[in-house]
Amino acid sequence: MKASTFVYPWDVNGDPEAPGRIAALGVRQVTLASAYHSTRALTPRHPRHRIVTAEHAAVLYPTDDRWTGRELRPYAAGDWAPGDAFGEAATALADAGLDVHTWVVLAHNSRLGAEHPDTSVVNAYGDRYPWAPCIAQPATRAYLVDLAAEAAVRPGARGTELESLGWYGFQHLHAHDKTGGVGLGDAGMYLMALCFCPACREGYGRQGLDADALAAAVREALEPLWRGAPDDGGWAGVEKLLGEANAAATRAWRDETARTLQEAAVAAVRAAAPEGFQVLLHADPVTYRVGANPGVDPAHILSVADGVVVPCAGGPGPLTPFAEQRRAGAVVAANFGVVSGMGGSPGTLAADAGRARELGATELRLYHAGLASDADLEAVREALAAF
């Protein structure tokens, strides 16, 4: 059961001990960021720095001429990942005997939303989510498909993991985030994720909905939640708040939009990649969910990609719908946090991995070797050796 850990280029570049230290964990693979969103990251063992501030979403390699003359294009990284930071780190990790796969973050880009506000998701109140590009817009879709192909198929990479390839919503750890005062619940978060940009308004119209009336219905449905009423949760909660017909129509539009984008992005990666290049998606088995692990239909996505990376922070239960497809050769990777200061549990990794394997996991993903403390890494080494 192969294990891979997530890594940033800045965890490796400038630290000659990093590749060997990562290999000594017992992993066979690294998932190395090649396109990533803004972040502030700890580097607790680096000889030159302890904090890296990635000021905006960026690609961590030099782009090619496919972007010439285009309004929407990737941003180059600043001094946190200069030049071909991905390539430098990938070479060092491969020299340590590790397989390198790319880690590509797609529909999550605050700078894109700030500089091109019309690309962002717009909620029923008219508020824009600058971190969340609307995946229904043709120009945005073309940008994401080309970015997926370029950022995934980097020299030396044997596969890719595509994150945020779907709808993003209200949930977002933004600068000094202060949005937790009202618990909207699963159903409320879905309603807050519904987009009303021109492309989505047209899409609702094709589902037989009037966009203005739908937006009013969403605001009315949310009002009790703002006042503290409980959210019944799940899709039944959405149907209760919005009405079954409205709920079904919005989901039909959003599901089809996400599915076709995922198909196009995976096809573009395959067209650019060598034979045997592995393509995985970060995914949740509940189609209406949004974010870094967007909701997918398990049967459909395993007919498109080589497999999925599934968040298991709350337990390995989300693996089951993917494993139940029993698709030969499909990767079902259980993603566990191993940074105790960020809510991970490296001390229970061996037990968690065993339970995940019982539920059909074929691989492990560990988040995140560069962010973890020495004690966390030692627990990971012990767990993988025992497992």
Q: What is the pLDDT of residue 199?
A: 98
Instruction: Enter the tokens of residue 73.
Output: 């294009």
pLDDT category at 283 given cuts 50, 70, 90 is: very high
User: Residue 300: CB partners within 8 Å, gap ≥ 6?
Assistant: 259
Average pLDDT over residues 134-157: 98
Residue recorded with tokens 């990479």: 157
Task: Please compute the mean of the pLDDT values over residues 11-22 and round it to a whole number.
Answer: 98
Please give the pLDDT value at position 226.
Answer: 85
Band the pLDDT of 230: cuts 50, 70, 90. confident
Query: Could you report the per-residue pLDDT of 263-280, keeping only the tens digit for each?
Result: 999 999 999 999 999 999
With tokens 């285009």, the residue in question is 70
Task: Please tell me the predicted confidence (pLDDT) of residue 181.
Answer: 66
Cα distances (Å, whole numbers) of residue 226 to 103, 168, 170, 235, 275: 37, 21, 15, 19, 52
CA dihedral sign of residues 297, 302, 306, 307 = positive
CA distances from residue 265 to 105, 151, 311 in whole angstroms, order as listed: 12, 11, 21
The mean pLDDT of the chain is 95
377 — pLDDT class (breaks 50, 70, 90): very high
Residue 233 pLDDT > 90: no
Q: Is 187 helix (H, G, I), strand (E, B) or coil?
A: helix
Q: Give the per-residue pLDDT at 101.
A: 98
- Two structure tokens written together for 106: 């797609």
The reported pLDDT for the residue numbered 203 is 98
* Percent of the chain predicted with pLDDT > 90: 92
pLDDT for position 289: 93
For the cut 80, the answer to whether the pLDDT of residue 179 exceeds it is no
Locate the domains of the chain by residue range. Answer: 2-179+258-386
**Section 123-143 average pLDDT:** 97
The more confidently predicted of residues 383 and 230 is 383
- Alpha-carbon torsion angle 290, 321, 149, 204, nearest 10: -40
Report the alpha-carbon angle 343-164-170, nearest 5: 70
* pLDDT > 70 fraction of the chain, expressed in percent and rounded: 97
Apex CA 148: angle with CA 140 and CA 89, to 5°? 135
Instruction: Please write the tens of the pLDDT for every residue from 318-349.
Output: 999 999 999 999 999 999 999 999 999 999 99
Residue 32 has pLDDT above 80, yes or no: yes
Decide: residue 93, CB within 10 A, 0-12 exposed, 13-18 middle, 19+ buried: buried
Q: What is the pLDDT of residue 185?
A: 86
57-104 residue pLDDT tens: 999 999 999 999 999 999 999 999 999 999 999 999 999 999 999 999
Q: How high is the pLDDT of residue 225?
A: 87
Q: What is the mean pLDDT of residues 292-303?
A: 97
φ, ψ for residue 247 (rounded to 5)?
-60, -45
CATH architecture of 2-179+258-386: Alpha-Beta Barrel (3.20)
Q: Is pLDDT above 80 for 310? A: yes
Confidence of residue 184 (pLDDT cuts 50, 70, 90): confident
Compare 212 and 186 and report the one with higher pLDDT: 212
Angle between helices 244-272 and 234-242 (to 10 degrees): 130
Average pLDDT score over residue span 151-179 = 88
